[in-house]
Amino acid sequence: MKNLNELIRPDLQDIKPYSSARDEFEGEASIFLDANENPFENGVNRYPDPLQRKLKERIGDIKGVSVNQLFLGNGSDECIDLLFRLFCVPGKDRVSAISPSYGMYSVSAKINNIELNEILLNEDFSLPVDQIIESSKGSKLLFICSPNNPTANSFEVGDMLRIAREFEGIVVIDEAYIDFSDQPSLSKFIQEQSNLVISQTLSKAYGMAGIRLGLMIASTELIGWVNKVKPPYNINLLTQNFALQKLQHIGQTEKEILLIKEERSRLEKFLNAESRILNVYPSDANFILIRVEGADDLYDYLIKKGVVVRNRSKQPLCSNTLRLTVGTPEENNKLMEFINTYFS
């Protein structure tokens, strides 16, 4: 990779981050008259910790990384957007991403006026490693989602590391579904491979989509730069407190993940046994992609039954596909019953 400072937007090199009252004084005091807050206590009248240190310590423990290697965003969406802002000059730079994949890469590219180079996966949804290395040359960022949404497969750790070694810019590995995967996170490589950014979220396995908490794991230098361009209080107090509280009961989350994986196997078995489903793609996530003739008809039928799945048929390589999220056992029973009656 290039030197990190060479990759940062030239006009941001000398940025002085906004300095809040909470940044300038963080010791013990009994009277806080520095932030123009309403002094009457109601639980939320004070600004939250701008760097979310308590929460980062807890998440760092769980993920096996230090506080300085962690960035928390208002959902992964904010993390992705901040990477665009930090590294890409609007109207000039370019980024690459695999395709089909998560829709936010292209939306964020568009909003930031950055050209997106989409690199098609192989027909079997595997990673075209050489082609990615070739085609992503000159890009500032490269997005690889693993396990990938919507194809549900993970990519080889060795392949992703090889790409990161050859790529001059920043490689973002989107691990939103890593907690359902049999493969390990790439987070243990962030110091030796300093152009790696690992993106994760509490929205999926951790059951907290509603509080909007995404995270990035990267070298302390890279995280330091993201901190300079983030909105001062990007994680609100309610989110910080709720996440801290919920992460005390990590055992419950682990149980849920196990059950979801069991249910995934059960659904896969059922779908594989249905001869009119052409393809059930092996899943390393909490959803299953199926290919079925007349996917639109099955989609409409399920809607009539009150079950909404995601029709991915318009995505590249995904004609006639539906993406089925693994639900509770009862919900999955219903889904299977409706698919049975649809085909009978």
Ligand X SMILES: *Cc1c(COP(=O)(O)O)cnc(C)c1O
For ligand X, the closer CB: 174 or 339: 174
Calculate ∠ Cα 224-226-228, nearest 5°. Answer: 75
Identity of residue 311? N
> Taking a C-beta distance cutoff of 8 angstroms, is the pair 131, 111 a contact?
no
For ligand X, the closer CB: 17 or 316: 316
Among 145, 178, 235, 335, binds ligand X (CB under 6 A): 145
- From the list 9-17, 128-136, 187-195, 196-204, the region that binds ligand X by CB under 6 A is 196-204
For ligand X, the closer CB: 50 or 75: 75
For ligand X, the closer CB: 60 or 75: 75
Task: Annotate 182-210 with three-state secondary structure.
Answer: CCCCHHHHCCCCCCEEEEEECCCCCCCHH
DSSP 178: G
CA distance 82 to 113: 14
- From the list 71-79, 131-139, 220-228, 247-255, the region that binds ligand X by CB under 6 A is 71-79
What is the smallest separation between the CB atom of 199 and ligand X, expressed in angstroms? 7
Taking CA atoms, 41 is separated from 34, 44, 237, 258, 273, in Å, by 16, 7, 14, 42, 60
CA distance 244 to 285: 25
Among 83, 160, 176, 260, binds ligand X (CB under 6 A): 176
> Taking a C-beta distance cutoff of 8 angstroms, is the pair 180, 148 a contact?
no
CA distance 48 to 197: 26
For ligand X, the closer CB: 169 or 214: 214
- From the list 50-58, 70-78, 255-263, 308-316, the region that binds ligand X by CB under 6 A is 70-78
Among 9, 51, 60, 76, binds ligand X (CB under 6 A): 76
Among 52, 96, 108, 149, binds ligand X (CB under 6 A): 149
How crowded is residue 34: how many other Cβ atoms within 10 Å of its Cβ? 12
What is the smallest separation between the CB atom of 35 and ligand X, expressed in angstroms? 28
For ligand X, the closer CB: 211 or 339: 211
For ligand X, the closer CB: 97 or 280: 97
- For 213-251, b/e burial (b = at least 16 CB within 10 A) is bbbbbbbeebbebbeebbeeebbebebbbbbeebbeeee
What is the smallest separation between the CB atom of 80 and ligand X, expressed in angstroms? 8
For ligand X, the closer CB: 181 or 339: 181
Near ligand X in 203-262, by CB under 6 A: 203-204, 209, 214
**Contact call for residue 281 and ligand X (CB under 6 A):** no
For the chain, state the CA radius of gyration.
22
Number of residues that bind ligand X (CB under 6 A): 13
Near ligand X in 27-56, by CB under 6 A: none
Q: Which two tokens stand for residue 170?
A: 């920043």
What is the smallest separation between the CB atom of 211 and ligand X, expressed in angstroms? 10
**Contact call for residue 286 and ligand X (CB under 6 A):** no
What is the smallest separation between the CB atom of 147 and ligand X, expressed in angstroms? 9
For ligand X, the closer CB: 9 or 261: 261
CA distance 203 to 205: 7
Residue 287 contacts by C-beta under 8 Å, 6 or more apart in sequence?
Answer: 149, 150, 152, 310, 323, 324, 325, 326
- From the list 13-21, 72-80, 128-136, 317-325, the region that binds ligand X by CB under 6 A is 72-80
Q: Which residues here bind ligand X, judged by CB under 6 A?
A: 75-77, 102, 145, 149, 174, 176, 201, 203-204, 209, 214
